[in-house]
């Protein structure tokens, strides 16, 4: 991979999945198929890879298992197929993190890109008025934080490269798809032009909104270290990501959050 995630995990291409080192635990992957996400795509009848992406939730070093569980955290890894979904790039369908029973609120997610090129799309709400909408373009080594309550999806912004990334999330995670599906997707559809560059089409199921296109910033208020794998940062300070499993610890930091 283009960026060392700090633990022995590597993505496979055919079939999509992961290989784990001897000191690493990880599950058999869950596959998301094209038929699973059609209703959230611009063209629901499009052609594309039948397995769009593969997810390995609950990955880590064996020595860290207890420390991760004690903090109600979970580390996940995801790898995407190469190709396109009709006019769109390979992407997830979009969801909001459901209310976690452990903390009583929606929770954030901390992404780290390992290989390929990504766009993390997020919007404040999946109701008729989506609020602020962001498209954050990232490359290997970049970190992006999705705040609590935002609807979001992950997009492979280069159809010729396999996107792979890791993320910290709450252990009792859940996904709420209802409002996104009711609006037939997120508020802005990514499409690929003749040069395979992303162009955006507004989803008219929502009120008008402005799309803010940007690159990741430094998250100094969360003490995130640039260039250091977020897994390694957990090893060095196991309490660093407690804000993921309990976002109320940093409640003020979510006000007018900019990714």
Measure the CA–CA gap between 176 and 151, rounded to whole angstroms. 9
Residue 255 lies in a domain: no
What is the pLDDT, as a whole number, of residue 1?
Answer: 84
Whether 211 maps to a domain, the answer reads yes
Q: What is the pLDDT of residue 234?
A: 98
Residuewise pLDDT in 10s, the chain (259 residues):
899 999 999 999 999 999 999 999 999 999 999 999 999 999 999 999 999 999 999 999 999 999 999 999 999 999 999 999 999 999 999 999 999 999 999 999 999 999 999 999 999 999 999 999 999 999 999 999 999 999 999 999 999 999 999 999 999 999 999 999 999 999 999 999 999 999 999 999 999 999 999 999 999 999 999 999 999 999 999 999 999 999 999 999 999 999 9
Residue 121 lies in a domain: yes
The per-residue pLDDT for 96 is 97
Taking the C-alpha atoms of residue 133 and residue 63, their distance in angstroms, rounded to an integer, is 39
Q: Among candidates 49, 50, 106, 97, which has minimal Cα distance to 76?
A: 97
* Whole-number Å distance between alpha carbons of 86 and 67: 43
Residues paired with 169 in a beta bridge: 74
Give CA–CA dist 247/199, Å, rounded: 33
Range(s) of the domain holding residue 45? 9-246
CB 234 within 8 A of CB 143: no
- Helix (H) or strand (E) run with residue 180 in it: helix 178-182
So what's the pLDDT on residue 156? 98
**Cβ-contact 243, 250 below 8 angstroms:** yes
- Quote the number of domains for the chain: 1
Residue 4 lies in a domain: no
Cross-strand pairs, 226? none
Q: Rounded to the nearest 5 degrees, what angle is found at the Cα of 94, between the Cα atoms of 1 and 127?
A: 150
Distance from CA of residue 90 to its chain's centroid?
13
CB 18 within 8 A of CB 56: yes
Q: Rounded to a whole number, what is the distance in angstroms from the first to the last CA of the chain?
A: 25
Question: If you search the block for the tokens 């029973």, which residue do you land on?
Answer: 101
- Asked whether residue 109 is assigned to any structural domain, the reply reads yes
137 SS3 class: strand
Q: Is residue 58 part of a domain?
A: yes
What's the pLDDT score for residue 125?
97
Helix (H, G, I), strand (E, B) or coil at 174: coil
Residues 6+ apart with CB under 8 A from 186: 40, 94, 121, 123, 126, 130, 151, 152, 153, 180, 203
| pLDDT at residue 99, as a whole number | 96
What is the pTM assigned to this prediction?
0.97
The domain spanning residue 227 has which CATH number? 2.60.120.10
* Residue 191, phi then psi, degrees to nearest 5: -125, 160
User: To the nearest 10°, the Cα dihedral for 211, 91, 94, 8?
Assistant: -110
Which are the contacts of 112, defined by CB distance < 8 A and separation ≥ 6? 3, 5, 141, 142, 143, 165, 166, 167, 229, 230
């Amino acid at each position: 991979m283009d960026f060392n995630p700090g633990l022995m995990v590597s993505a496979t291409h055919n079939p999509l999945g992961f290989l784990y080192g001897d000191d690493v635990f990880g599950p058999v992957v869950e596959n998301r198929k094209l038929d699973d996400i059609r209703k959230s795509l611009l063209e629901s009848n499009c052609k594309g890879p039948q397995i769009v992406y593969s997810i390995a939730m609950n990955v880590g070093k064996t020595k860290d298992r207890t420390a991760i569980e004690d903090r109600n955290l979970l580390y996940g890894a995801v790898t995407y197929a190469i190709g396109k979904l009709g006019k769109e790039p390979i992407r997830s369908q979009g969801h909001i993190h459901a209310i976690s029973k452990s903390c009583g609120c929606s929770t954030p997610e901390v992404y780290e890109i390992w290989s390929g090129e990504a766009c993390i799309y997020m919007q404040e709400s999946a109701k008729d008025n989506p609020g602020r909408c962001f498209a954050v373009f990232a490359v290997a080594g970049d970190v992006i934080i999705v705040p609590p309550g935002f609807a979001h999806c992950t997009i492979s912004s280069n159809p010729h490269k396999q996107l792979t990334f890791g993320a910290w999330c709450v252990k009792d995670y859940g996904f709420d798809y209802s409002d996104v599906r009711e609006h037939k997707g997120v508020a802005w559809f990514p499409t690929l032009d003749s040069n395979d560059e992303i162009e955006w089409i507004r989803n008219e199921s929502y009120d008008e909104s402005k799309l803010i296109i940007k690159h990741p910033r430094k998250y100094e208020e969360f003490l995130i270290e640039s260039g250091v794998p977020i897994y390694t940062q957990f090893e060095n300070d196991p309490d660093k990501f407690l804000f993921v499993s309990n976002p109320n610890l940093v409640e003020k930091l979510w006000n007018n959050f900019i990714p």
